[in-house]
Amino acid sequence: MSNKNQLSQAKIIFGIGSNLGNREDNLKIALDKLANYLSLKKIITSRILKNPAMLPPNAPKEWDIEFYNIAVSAIIDVEKFPPNKVLETIKKIENEIGRNSTMRWSPREIDIDILAIDEMFIDEQNILKIPHQGLFERDFFFKTMQEIEPELLEKLIKKKGAL
Protein backbone atom coordinates (compact mmCIF):
# COMPACT_ATOMS: atom_id res chain seq x y z
CA MET A 1 0.00 0.00 0.00
CA SER A 2 1.39 3.41 -0.87
CA ASN A 3 1.97 6.07 1.75
CA LYS A 4 -0.67 8.26 0.09
CA ASN A 5 -3.30 5.55 0.60
CA GLN A 6 -2.30 5.16 4.24
CA LEU A 7 -2.70 8.91 4.79
CA SER A 8 -6.23 8.87 3.41
CA GLN A 9 -7.29 6.10 5.83
CA ALA A 10 -9.03 7.27 8.99
CA LYS A 11 -10.90 5.67 11.85
CA ILE A 12 -14.55 6.68 11.86
CA ILE A 13 -17.01 6.05 14.68
CA PHE A 14 -20.76 6.00 14.09
CA GLY A 15 -23.52 6.04 16.67
CA ILE A 16 -26.58 4.15 15.42
CA GLY A 17 -29.93 4.10 17.21
CA SER A 18 -33.46 2.86 16.62
CA ASN A 19 -36.72 3.00 18.57
CA LEU A 20 -39.31 2.06 15.93
CA GLY A 21 -39.97 -1.20 14.14
CA ASN A 22 -37.62 -4.15 14.59
CA ARG A 23 -34.87 -2.18 16.32
CA GLU A 24 -32.17 -4.88 16.13
CA ASP A 25 -32.84 -5.45 12.41
CA ASN A 26 -32.77 -1.70 11.78
CA LEU A 27 -29.33 -1.46 13.43
CA LYS A 28 -28.02 -4.38 11.35
CA ILE A 29 -29.45 -3.02 8.08
CA ALA A 30 -27.93 0.41 8.78
CA LEU A 31 -24.54 -1.13 9.54
CA ASP A 32 -24.64 -3.26 6.38
CA LYS A 33 -25.56 -0.24 4.23
CA LEU A 34 -22.84 1.93 5.84
CA ALA A 35 -20.23 -0.77 5.23
CA ASN A 36 -21.35 -1.23 1.64
CA TYR A 37 -21.87 2.40 0.57
CA LEU A 38 -18.75 3.75 2.32
CA SER A 39 -16.42 0.77 1.67
CA LEU A 40 -15.72 0.42 5.40
CA LYS A 41 -12.93 -1.90 6.58
CA LYS A 42 -12.05 -3.45 9.97
CA ILE A 43 -15.54 -2.96 11.41
CA ILE A 44 -16.00 -3.30 15.18
CA THR A 45 -19.41 -2.95 16.86
CA SER A 46 -20.33 -2.41 20.48
CA ARG A 47 -23.00 -4.36 22.29
CA ILE A 48 -26.52 -2.94 22.09
CA LEU A 49 -27.20 -0.40 24.82
CA LYS A 50 -30.88 -0.01 25.62
CA ASN A 51 -31.86 3.37 27.00
CA PRO A 52 -34.81 5.73 27.36
CA ALA A 53 -35.53 8.09 24.48
CA MET A 54 -34.28 11.66 24.82
CA LEU A 55 -37.43 13.75 24.80
CA PRO A 56 -38.16 17.45 24.62
CA PRO A 57 -40.35 19.03 27.30
CA ASN A 58 -44.06 18.23 26.78
CA ALA A 59 -43.33 15.46 24.25
CA PRO A 60 -46.29 13.19 23.47
CA LYS A 61 -46.37 10.08 25.69
CA GLU A 62 -46.25 7.84 22.62
CA TRP A 63 -42.73 9.14 21.86
CA ASP A 64 -41.40 7.53 25.05
CA ILE A 65 -40.08 4.35 23.37
CA GLU A 66 -36.84 2.67 24.45
CA PHE A 67 -33.90 3.15 22.07
CA TYR A 68 -31.42 0.48 21.03
CA ASN A 69 -27.99 2.05 20.42
CA ILE A 70 -24.63 0.81 19.18
CA ALA A 71 -21.32 2.38 18.27
CA VAL A 72 -19.45 1.21 15.19
CA SER A 73 -15.77 1.74 14.50
CA ALA A 74 -14.29 1.27 11.02
CA ILE A 75 -11.56 2.40 8.67
CA ILE A 76 -12.71 4.73 5.90
CA ASP A 77 -10.95 6.40 2.97
CA VAL A 78 -11.49 10.09 3.80
CA GLU A 79 -10.20 11.18 0.41
CA LYS A 80 -12.93 9.20 -1.32
CA PHE A 81 -15.49 9.84 1.45
CA PRO A 82 -14.86 13.22 3.12
CA PRO A 83 -17.08 14.08 6.13
CA ASN A 84 -19.76 15.91 4.11
CA LYS A 85 -20.06 12.96 1.68
CA VAL A 86 -20.40 10.62 4.69
CA LEU A 87 -23.19 12.84 6.07
CA GLU A 88 -24.97 12.81 2.69
CA THR A 89 -24.70 8.99 2.59
CA ILE A 90 -26.09 8.72 6.15
CA LYS A 91 -29.17 10.76 5.18
CA LYS A 92 -29.72 8.50 2.15
CA ILE A 93 -29.48 5.35 4.32
CA GLU A 94 -31.85 6.78 6.96
CA ASN A 95 -34.43 7.47 4.23
CA GLU A 96 -33.99 4.00 2.72
CA ILE A 97 -34.64 2.38 6.12
CA GLY A 98 -37.81 4.43 6.51
CA ARG A 99 -36.89 7.46 8.57
CA ASN A 100 -39.21 10.20 7.46
CA SER A 101 -39.93 12.16 10.61
CA THR A 102 -38.54 15.64 10.61
CA MET A 103 -39.62 16.49 14.16
CA ARG A 104 -36.65 16.68 16.49
CA TRP A 105 -36.44 13.77 18.94
CA SER A 106 -39.53 12.03 17.58
CA PRO A 107 -39.45 8.21 17.37
CA ARG A 108 -37.55 6.91 14.37
CA GLU A 109 -36.64 3.69 12.63
CA ILE A 110 -33.01 4.73 12.47
CA ASP A 111 -30.72 7.52 13.56
CA ILE A 112 -27.10 7.51 12.38
CA ASP A 113 -24.57 9.99 13.74
CA ILE A 114 -20.87 10.51 13.08
CA LEU A 115 -19.37 10.44 16.57
CA ALA A 116 -15.74 10.95 15.54
CA ILE A 117 -13.27 10.72 12.68
CA ASP A 118 -9.81 10.14 14.12
CA GLU A 119 -8.95 13.24 16.15
CA MET A 120 -10.58 15.68 13.71
CA PHE A 121 -12.48 18.67 15.03
CA ILE A 122 -14.95 20.11 12.51
CA ASP A 123 -17.55 22.77 13.23
CA GLU A 124 -19.69 23.79 10.28
CA GLN A 125 -22.53 25.81 11.81
CA ASN A 126 -25.82 23.84 11.70
CA ILE A 127 -24.38 21.33 9.21
CA LEU A 128 -21.65 19.14 10.66
CA LYS A 129 -19.97 18.94 14.04
CA ILE A 130 -17.23 16.36 14.69
CA PRO A 131 -16.82 15.01 17.29
CA HIS A 132 -20.59 14.83 17.73
CA GLN A 133 -21.74 17.58 20.11
CA GLY A 134 -23.36 15.01 22.42
CA LEU A 135 -20.47 12.52 22.49
CA PHE A 136 -19.21 13.53 25.94
CA GLU A 137 -22.64 14.13 27.54
CA ARG A 138 -24.84 11.32 26.25
CA ASP A 139 -24.27 7.94 27.88
CA PHE A 140 -25.51 6.01 24.85
CA PHE A 141 -22.74 7.60 22.74
CA PHE A 142 -20.03 7.71 25.40
CA LYS A 143 -20.47 4.18 26.80
CA THR A 144 -20.77 2.45 23.42
CA MET A 145 -17.71 4.27 22.01
CA GLN A 146 -15.76 3.63 25.20
CA GLU A 147 -16.44 -0.10 24.74
CA ILE A 148 -14.87 -0.27 21.26
CA GLU A 149 -12.49 2.73 21.04
CA PRO A 150 -11.39 3.75 24.56
CA GLU A 151 -8.00 5.13 23.42
CA LEU A 152 -9.51 7.39 20.75
CA LEU A 153 -12.19 8.58 23.18
CA GLU A 154 -9.49 9.45 25.74
CA LYS A 155 -7.51 11.40 23.10
CA LEU A 156 -10.64 13.34 22.10
CA ILE A 157 -11.42 14.20 25.74
CA LYS A 158 -7.87 15.53 26.23
CA LYS A 159 -7.90 17.44 22.94
CA LYS A 160 -11.34 18.95 23.72
CA GLY A 161 -10.04 20.11 27.10
CA ALA A 162 -7.08 21.80 25.40
CA LEU A 163 -9.27 23.76 22.96
C-alpha to C-alpha distance for 28 and 16, rounded to whole angstroms: 10
Taking phi over 0 as left and psi of -120 to 50 as alpha, with beta for the rest, 42 belongs to left
Q: Tell me, what's the pLDDT at 15? A: 97
C-alpha to C-alpha distance for 102 and 14, rounded to whole angstroms: 21
Q: Tell me, what's the pLDDT at 36? A: 98
12 with 73: CB under 8 angstroms?
yes
Q: Tell me, what's the pLDDT at 99? A: 87
β-pair type (41-45, 67-77)? antiparallel
Mean pLDDT per 10-residue interval, the chain, length 163 residues: 66 96 97 98 98 91 95 97 96 92 82 95 88 92 96 92 66
20 with 109: CB under 8 angstroms?
yes
Of the options 3.30.70.560, 3.60.90.10, 3.40.50.300, 3.40.47.40, the CATH number for the domain spanning 7-162: 3.30.70.560
Which amino acid is present at 59?
Answer: A
Q: Tell me, what's the pLDDT at 2? A: 43
Residue spans of the domains in the chain: they are 7-162
Q: Tell me, what's the pLDDT at 65? A: 94
Q: How many CB atoms lie within 10 A of CB 47?
A: 12
Task: Identify which of 113, 93, 110 has the alpha carbon closest to the alpha carbon of residue 101.
Answer: 110
C-alpha to C-alpha distance for 84 and 59, rounded to whole angstroms: 31
152 with 120: CB under 8 angstroms?
no
Q: Tell me, what's the pLDDT at 155? A: 94
